[in-house]
Structure 1
Amino acid sequence: MTDTPPLAGKTILMSGGSRGIGLAIALRAARDGANIALLAKTDAPHPKLEGTVHTAAEQIREAGGQALPIVGDVRDEDSITQAVLKTAGEFGGIDVVVNNASVIDLSGSLQLSTKKYDLMQDVNVRGTFLLSRAALPMLTEAANPHILSLSPPLNLSPRWLGAHTGYTLAKYGMTMATLGLAAEFAKDGVAANTLWPRTTIATAAVQFSLGGERMMRASRTPEIYADAAYEVITQPARTYTGQTLVVEDVLEAAGVTDFARYAAVPGTPDTELFPDIFLD
């Protein structure tokens, strides 16, 4: 008799997830037989970005999970409310919320448009807070409820505070919201943690917003983030909460010592990988 996988029958509600890190996390959970609802904007193919919420749902089902693609915008409270209701209606509850949706713009303060500043605040901070809050009544009823936000530790070094103030505010805002919920709902047994990688991850954000193909080749695959996220959301919620976690540290604690298989270009030594921002 085989053991039941930790996420079998569990329900994850994720913002974004049409591609990249979010999709990798969804596919890792799907291998356990999880139910995954994706609240994402990409209804039709994007000219530059591969994948839609519908193609992501197909991949989730092929990996062994149940999928509920929900076309909506995490900036819109009605979209969030509908996503929570549809997810609970389809699967009977919500066990995990993954705040994956995020906007990046590393422009300096004088170059950053107000529109882009507002977009980063609305998606990254407001979206994280509102989606988590809307799901909390369901989470408090779950057996092992987790909120996981893909955001960095709060590093107050001037190096990071001053590098891209608008983006730093938005990503640290995600972390602050998550840590606040961890403290507020600890008594209810709801875990809330953040997760961030030591190296850049080979995604569209890196390709188009950071360093192009050169940086893509010096990155790790989204699967390293997915494997770490899996470790986090399968931990006991009452005791594993309120932490700003680093991907590689989580995996090392789980017994992973060799990260070579995660290199975007096989054979790339760790010393040649590009370090991610916010970590010294």
Structure 2
Amino acid sequence: MNVVASPMNPVVSREEWLEARRRLLQLEKEETRLRDKVRTERRALPWVKMDKDYVFQTPEGEKHLSDLFDGRSQLLVYHFMMGPEWDAGCVGCSFHSDHVDGTLAHLNHHDVTYVAVSRAPIDKIMAYKARMAWKFPWVSSHGSDFNFDFHVSFTPEDLAKKTVYYNFRATPSADAHDELPGLSAFYRNDKGDIFHTYSTYARGGEELIGTLMVLDPARFGRNEEGTMDFVMRHDEYEPAMESEASSCCH
């Protein structure tokens, strides 16, 4: 990878550096307190009771939304961009998914089930999952309204309009694709009632991508001109493959 050219920062004495670092520390503390406040507000959000059932295709056969909880009370659904005609998943979603398998034991122990959902048929999903050597559960919503109801999939008719509804607002269709990413949370009580408790879209799930968090303190940080423009599928980095273009779609 070519590092973006950048002038050297000022070189100062250790004392001057400590003074500048302490000023930055104050901003970092403000960021941490704000992040804690946001998390508190997130947990306090009202819920919406799910009054519509959804059926998903899985390697074990059809499953309903309630089945995806796998006996736990909390479910996180990652809206993975992979449409019915795609043979490979979105590069950005693949980048996110490289970070999931190591969390599964901890999530499950904490009464949380994680599942990725895409509109691609289950055979295409399983083929790409095998290519990427992932272990997390991944199911197909092909043929259901699930992706459309959660505003992460759009028909050609939707995209022909000036705007689509994404990230809780009207978004210019020129900035949209037939598939877009997101993360939704659900809770299932002892009676079996299911509630939608939270969703986030666009860059809302960025904190789940550990590589970005590790890059941030490095000298050049993420070293990007556009959001995650440096990312490729993990089997496409040199010298593995150079031919297929890296994009956030397919």
Question: Which has the bigger relative contact order, CA under 8 A and spacing at least 6?
Answer: 2
Q: Report which of the two has the higher share of strand.
A: 2
Q: Report which of the two has the higher share of helix.
A: 1
TM > 0.5 fold call = no
- Which TM-score bucket, shorter chain as reference? 0.3 to 0.5
Instruction: Give TM-score, length-normalised by structure 1.
Output: 0.30
Larger Rg: 2
